[in-house]
Amino acid sequence: MTDDRLRMTPGPTEVPTAVRERMSEPTPNPDVESEFFAFYRDLTDELGAIYGDDDVVVLGGEGILGLEAAIASLVEPGDRVLCIANGLYGEGFADFVEMYGGEAVVCASSWREPLDLEAIESELETNSFDVATMVHCETPTGVLNDIEPVLERLEAHDVVTVVDAVSSLGGVPVPTDRIDVCLGASQKCFSAPPGLTVCSVSDRAWERIESVETESLYTDLEPWRDAADEEWFPYTHLSANLYGLETAVDLLLDEGLESVYARHEEAATRCRARAAELGLALYPDESVASPTVTALEVPGRAEHLQETLVDEHEIVLATGLDDLAEDVLRIGHMGHNARVDRVERTMDALEVALE
């Protein structure tokens, strides 16, 4: 089957041919063959080049699994969690906290604005918290949060931190050295198929995880600390997906992280320049817009434009989510698609669709 569609969505992203070919190779039995455990350890070592010194775990499940697993593993009934939010996923952490019996305190700001540092400081000065959650890049709005000042304040108050970096890790520098649990996913900037969560876990986070009585198997991170070294996994791993992820990581590291980050910046800059030429406004202010995704305001037209671009130009874009579904059109220039020529093709088609 031939498929000429250009999928410029903010995840899942285009999967390179080398990744698809690697996934077709024979794989060892992930439950009983030592070769697979050696491969998994090598993969987590490679991911360490992106994550830093903390332990890296790869879970068999789409990125949302990581968000829930972090809360399930760190939060017990009665624990207080500060959910710092300026978007759909930041607010969504509170649902997981309450699901596992914690007390969620949401420190929210506008979806168009950066995180409210003053409000965060106020919460930390007047209340105590066990864990704090936040999102680095809010994919539904294209807002990239400056999280380092927030992490500094949380560190001063000895709060364990969880960061959703699903749509930034591998495309944008992430201050992983200051994060206790940093979550990523295969289908975003890595440009591998959906199905895997990647996360780093600090020593402090492991200590807390080991003290928490988790009411779940699949969302419990604790068994993963020593699983590969002891050559067993809590469940059968997604062997073909892991092979694909390794090749995707190889491609990224072969290019070099600084070159990858520059490529994302270049693609984002060109996308926004073309949008301005078309008279389209960014949903967030450009000062907080992510290099991985551009959200454009198209009041009342998002779904129509999405359909037109697919039907007439073979280009797939995403609309906004929740209340923004009809008013925001999102272009994903992340991972393999963070290339100026692909942005130009997309914006040429959008120009015609807008006529």
Secondary structure (3-state) at 57: strand
Distances (CA, A) of 11 to 95, 239, 280: 23, 21, 22
Give the integer Cα–Cα distance in Å for 139 and 111. Answer: 11
CA 108 to chain CA mean position, Å: 20
State mean pLDDT over 93-111: 97
The pTM for the full model equals: 0.96
pLDDT-above-90 percentage for the chain: 96
State mean pLDDT over 339-343: 98
State mean pLDDT over 312-341: 96
What average pLDDT does the structure give for the chain?
A: 96
Distances (CA, A) of 350 to 14, 307, 317, 326: 19, 11, 10, 16
What tens digit of pLDDT does each residue of 128-161 get?
999 999 999 999 999 999 999 999 999 999 999 9
What tens digit of pLDDT does each residue of 227-275 get?
999 999 999 999 999 999 999 999 999 999 999 999 999 999 999 999 9
State mean pLDDT over 195-218: 95
pLDDT of residue 268: 98
pLDDT of residue 355: 87
**The pLDDT of residue 2 is above 80:** no
Give the integer Cα–Cα distance in Å for 88 and 90. Answer: 6
**The pLDDT of residue 300 is above 70:** yes
Which tokens in the block code for residue 287? 């000062």
pLDDT of residue 3: 78
Q: What are the two backbone dihedrals, phi and then psi, of residue 15, each rounded to the nearest 5 degrees?
A: -100, 120
What DSSP designation does 217 have? S
Q: Which helix (H) or strand (E) holds 350?
A: helix 340-354
For strand 328-332 and strand 293-297, is the pairing parallel, antiparallel, or unpaired?
Answer: antiparallel
pLDDT of residue 215: 83
**The pLDDT of residue 336 is above 50:** yes
State mean pLDDT over 186-206: 97
State mean pLDDT over 171-183: 97
Give the integer Cα–Cα distance in Å for 90 and 111. Answer: 10
**The pLDDT of residue 1 is above 60:** no
Q: What is the DSSP string of 151-200?
A: HHHHHHTT-EEEEE-TTTBTTB---GGG-SEEEEETTTTT---S-EEEEE
